[in-house]
Amino acid sequence: MNRRFSSKRNGKKGGRPVADINLQMEIPDFNIVVLTPNQYYTLVVKYGNPLLKKALSILQNWLISSPEGEKYRGKNNYAHFRSDGWVINAAKCE
């Protein structure tokens, strides 16, 4: 049995490893949004640069202005960029 995914550091048993917050990327103009370099480049390939910039702007404004966004500040925000998520849908509508 492979136990490398069963530790608390790597998430739930059988789950994906947790993104290392120390590997966060400095995104120009979006200093509140936290992504690793690999996650950022995956999103650029998936959505393209113009749509991703709109989505980053929408997410940053929400993180700053919303009381609900407070609990996501300083944490990895990759999960907000699902293709059926509100951030991408809002960016497509703009």
Q: What confidence tens digit (pLDDT) does each residue in 10-47 have? A: 555 555 556 555 678 888 888 899 999 999 999 999 99
pLDDT for 27 equals 86
Could you tell me the pTM of the whole model? 0.75
Q: How far apart are CA 24 and CA 35, in angstroms?
A: 5
With beta carbons less than 8 A apart as the criterion, state whether 91 and 51 touch.
yes
The overall average pLDDT reported for the chain is 83
SS3 state at 87: helix
Quote the CA–CA distance of 87 and 24 in Å, as a whole number: 20
Q: Where are the domains of the chain?
A: 22-93
pLDDT score recorded for residue 1: 45
